Structure 1
Amino acid sequence: MSRGSSRRARRMMKQMGLKMDELGDIERVIMQGPKREIVIEGPAVAHLNIQGQSMYQVVGGTVTENAVEGGIEVPEEDVLLVAQQAGVSMEKARAALEDAEGDLARAILMLTTG
């Protein structure tokens, strides 16, 4: 892109309310979900502000995807509620909640129906 067209593009972006900043010091981007984790090493990252809305653009880099191991984190009050409703120990209630992926109703049904 020539110098003139680059300047014109920046001017047009400003008129549309778009502001973009390159974040050159980013070494790794990690995106975590309940069942997987995506790691991007050495990406080019830009922060865009479009009429007050923030957005991050991640480009390139080495991508690795991992399955997340281990159970979900179950709040103590959920364990207590399931234990009381199903009439079981806290340990059994916690195990049922982990098997039910935190779903209270499903955990109680699992414990009370067999």
Structure 2
Amino acid sequence: MFPGKMNPKKMKQMMKQMGMEMDELEGVEKIVIYTADGNYVFDNASVVATTMQGVTSYQITGDARFEEAVPEIPDEDVALVASQTGATEDAARAALAETRGDIAEAILKLAQ
């Protein structure tokens, strides 16, 4: 779209003439994008806000890591797994966490 090497000031001036503004957000320490399966975490990311025709969009640059969501484990599930396997509640909770809340799989895991 833009030929060869262009002066950054000239580029910014052209973008402003087209009604486009870009600003880097200062002081960004961490960005987290929450999803049902887990969170995408960006540490030390840079963020550029681009406004064009009244709409602002954000561009994130950096290395992301994915942290899986830890399911909430009801006390009733822990008690059930513990009673079925004879394991302690701590062991039952650990097995449920490892199997992402799957009761049958946690029972099979502890029964081995």
Tell me the TM-score range normalised by the shorter chain. Answer: 0.5 to 0.7
Moved over 4 A (4+): none
**Matched-pair identity in %:** 26
Superposition deviation, residue 21 in structure 1: 1.0
Find the counterpart in structure 2 of residue 93 from structure 1: none
Could you tell me the TM-score, scaled by structure 1's length? 0.54
Find the counterpart in structure 2 of residue 25 from structure 1: 27
Find the counterpart in structure 1 of residue 70 from structure 2: 69
Pairing 1:30-45 to 2, within 5 Å after superposition: 30-45=32-47
Find the counterpart in structure 2 of residue 12 from structure 1: 14
AA matched with 1:39: V
Describe the SS at the equivalent of 1:25: coil
Find the counterpart in structure 1 of residue 78 from structure 2: none
Please list every run of 5 or more consecutive structure 2 residues that lacks an aligned counterpart in the other structure. Answer: 73-112
Describe the SS at the equivalent of 1:37: strand
Aligned length in residues:
70
Q: In the aligned structure 1, how far is the partner of 2:17 from the partner of 2:38? A: 40
Could you tell me the TM-score, scaled by structure 2's length? 0.55
Q: In the aligned structure 2, how far is the partner of 1:27 from the partner of 1:69? A: 24
AA matched with 1:6: P
AA matched with 1:69: V
Deviations 1:16-59 (A, max 9, x none): 11111111200001001111210000011111111101111111
Q: In the aligned structure 2, how far is the partner of 1:41 from the partner of 1:59? A: 10
Q: In the aligned structure 1, how far is the partner of 2:18 from the partner of 2:37? A: 38
